Amino acid sequence: MYTLSGVSIAAGVGFAPAVIVSRPGNFNTEEKFYTLDPQEEIDKFQKKRSDFANRLRQIVSPGQDRIRDLFGAAEGFLSDKNNIHEVIDFISHGCSAVTACKNVLLGKLENFNTIKDPELAKDKKDIRSLILEFINSLQKRDDSTFILPYLKEDAIIVAENLSPALFLSLNVEKVKGVILEFGHDSGHLGVVLRELNIPAIFGVQGATSIENGSRLLVDGNNGVMVIEPEESTANALLEQQDLYHDEIDDDSLLNVTIAGAVGAIRQIKCDSIYTTHGLGLLRSEFLFLACDHEPSEEEMTKTFSELFKPISPSAPITARTFDFADDKKPLFRVHQDDQGPLKGYGAGVGSRLLKKEIRALLCAAADRHIRIIFPLITRVNEAKFLKDLSKLCCDELENEHKKHGTYEIGFMSETPSSVLCAKAFSQDCSMIIIGTSSLAEYASAPRPADIAFTPALAKMIVMAAKAAYEAKIPVGVAGRYAPRVELLPFFYKLGVTYYAVDGYQISRMKKAVEQLNIDAEMEPSFDINLYKEVMNIFNGKELAALINRLNMHI
């Protein structure tokens, strides 16, 4: 028995055999002659061709005339517009990129000046070798490829790193803990693990050297992993677990809404946390990251319906549309807009898929009211387009006589651009939700995000809140700072009436809000003097003093 330690990401205790998830050392790739997704093959060919051609241009010393000419000839051959057009034409008719390149590129090289000059013949042979190297690069899998096990029994997953999409591809019901050698606490995998109550520790050096099948005890409360522990030790820790089961069911908190931020949970029928308090922010992308194909409107409607049906009619349903930014890349290929207002949209999704999702959300919320929230808005024309797209979806469903719910739209304020333009964005929506996690990243950039509540972050929050106040629309908070009880008086005085937090945090938040109401009879309302004070604070000591003062007055 020995221990390894790291950074605690998700609380709780898990005990099960280790399953090591790793990248394969060698690829025994079989050549693929045909493709079912020509556009994906074309994109792969174009990217690999561009990368390979750039490499040929960059790695040659100007003094090496023959090598420079040789690599230049190969680069020109790969960049020839006629060659590219013929390869793409082959792929469009169902050939794989590899087969198309062999037919076109190698075929043309065979007819490459059949001159008897030995030097030219040698050049032809060398150029062919370079083209073959390029074709072979099309067959290699990405370095991020993992061998994912099919879990039949309980397991502790051990890996160097994992994306949320790869993790959700596993049978997560069998996962009793996660250990990563890398990973970071602000990543989205941590969000998923906390939501699913799966204990996790990141930054555990040497974890992947553990033998497969070793019994592991994951103590996410203390950031410690025990290899081959005594049975009695494991059982004692497991018995001490006290996951959230408490409930507050009263009507004393009518001035604020506190509801669950969810994404990875597909079934909430038996979870009274969500059925009673509602979906404060459904992070919809997590439901589909592990799909091996773009979900259809029907598939999305079914998934959303199963989540919405058990929720109390008096509880909110607020759904954020797909956000595929950063480490939240799905397994399926996402088509983005090449032109129009959503070209370059920060959420990494195009209008075609968004339209399907909006329609699915409206249909799943039939006979109910739903708030649809759009993330990562940075431009006013994006906001207007998404508002118009929502109306178009609703009108289409009306014309098709499809049952659907009523809706309102809101925007996430989670980028510097959205904060600076919040006054304009507020005119096109019925709510602003401040995404404190993303804003914290931007407030600290280029350094890693601070855990502390910083003046830069505080300024962006008060600016967004002021815009909502002036537009006479409600403002909410989500992300890592939303459940910070010591910040409640601060948020109250900015008029925040909506909190989206993890399910296990709802009870603690409601108790804290109840304490505010009972002890100080506070009501959420925007305090212009607090706004002015924050805008004139420039160091952490002054901000901490302000937060402490607000708490002392409760």
Of 356, 375, 346, 387, which is closest to residue 261 (Cα–Cα)?
Answer: 375
Domain with CATH 3.50.30.10 in the chain: 2-23+146-239
C-beta neighbour count of 228 within 10 angstroms: 13
CATH topology of domain 2-23+146-239: Glucose Oxidase; domain 1 (3.50.30)
Pairs from 544-547 (Cβ < 8 Å, separation ≥ 24): 546/490, 547/453, 547/486, 547/487, 547/489, 547/490
The first and second tokens of residue 142, run together, are 């990405």
- Evaluate whether 540 touches 457 at the Cβ level (below 8 Å): no
pLDDT band at 380; cut points 50, 70, 90:
very high
> What is the rounded distance in angstroms from the CA atom of residue 293 to the CA atom of residue 290?
9
Of 504, 497, 492, 490, which is closest to residue 534 (Cα–Cα)?
Answer: 490
What is the per-residue pLDDT for 251?
47
Q: Three-class SS of residue 150?
A: coil
Which residue, chain included where needed, has tokens 């304020």?
413
- Higher pLDDT: 38 or 316? It is 316
> What is the rounded distance in angstroms from the CA atom of residue 324 to the CA atom of residue 342?
14
What is the per-residue pLDDT for 110?
72
Q: SS3 helix, strand, coil % of the chain, rounded to 5?
A: 45, 15, 40
Does 41 score more than 90 pLDDT?
no
pTM, whole model, 2 decimals? Answer: 0.73
Residue by residue, DSSP assigns 495-515 as TEEEEEE-GGGHHHHHHHHHH
Domain with CATH 3.20.20.60 in the chain: 257-552
Q: At what angle do helices 540-552 and 528-535 cross, to 10 degrees?
A: 160
What is the per-residue pLDDT for 346?
94
The first and second tokens of residue 21, run together, are 């998830």
Supply φ then ψ for residue 291, to 5 degrees: -65, 140
Q: Each residue of 118-160: pLDDT tens digit?
A: 555 556 677 888 888 788 877 755 444 566 788 899 999 999 8
The first and second tokens of residue 89, run together, are 């034409």
Considering the domain delimited by 38-139, tell me its CATH architecture: Orthogonal Bundle (1.10)
The first and second tokens of residue 220, run together, are 């996410």
Q: Each residue of 247-302: pLDDT tens digit?
A: 445 545 558 899 989 887 766 555 677 888 889 999 999 999 988 889 999 999 99
> What is the rounded distance in angstroms from the CA atom of residue 302 to the CA atom of residue 316?
19
Q: Each residue of 484-537: pLDDT tens digit?
A: 999 999 999 999 999 999 888 888 898 888 888 766 667 789 999 999 999 999
Say what percent of the chain tops pLDDT 90. 47
What is the per-residue pLDDT for 423?
94
What is the per-residue pLDDT for 243?
47
pLDDT band at 66; cut points 50, 70, 90:
low
Residues 6+ apart with CB under 8 A from 131: 74, 77, 78, 101, 105, 106, 109
Q: Three-class SS of residue 78?
A: helix
For the chain, counts of helices (H) and of strands (E): 21, 16
- Cα-Cα end-to-end distance for the chain: 50
Largest CA distance in the chain: 97
CATH superfamily of 257-552: Phosphoenolpyruvate-binding domains (3.20.20.60)
Give, as one character, the DSSP assignment of residue 173. G
Does 166 score more than 80 pLDDT?
yes
- Strands ordered across the beta sheet of 215-219: 2-5, 224-227, 215-219, 13-21, 155-159, 175-180, 200-202, 7-10
Domain with CATH 1.10.274.10 in the chain: 38-139
Residues 6+ apart with CB under 8 A from 299: none
Of 158, 191, 188, 154, which is closest to residue 172 (Cα–Cα)?
Answer: 154
Instruction: Rounding to the nearest 10 degrees, give the CA dihedral for residues 52, 348, 196, 261.
Output: 160
Kindly report the average pLDDT of the chain as a whole number: 85
> What is the rounded distance in angstroms from the CA atom of residue 413 to the CA atom of residue 278?
22
Q: Each residue of 92-121: pLDDT tens digit?
A: 888 888 888 888 888 887 765 544 445 555
- Evaluate whether 531 touches 499 at the Cβ level (below 8 Å): no
Question: Could you tell me which residues are beta bridge partners of residue 157?
Answer: 19, 178
What is the per-residue pLDDT for 244?
42
What is the per-residue pLDDT for 111?
65
Half-sphere exposure for 250 (CA within 13 Å, toward CB): 9
Residue 29 vs residues 34, 48, 140, 163: alpha-carbon distances, Å: 14, 17, 7, 24
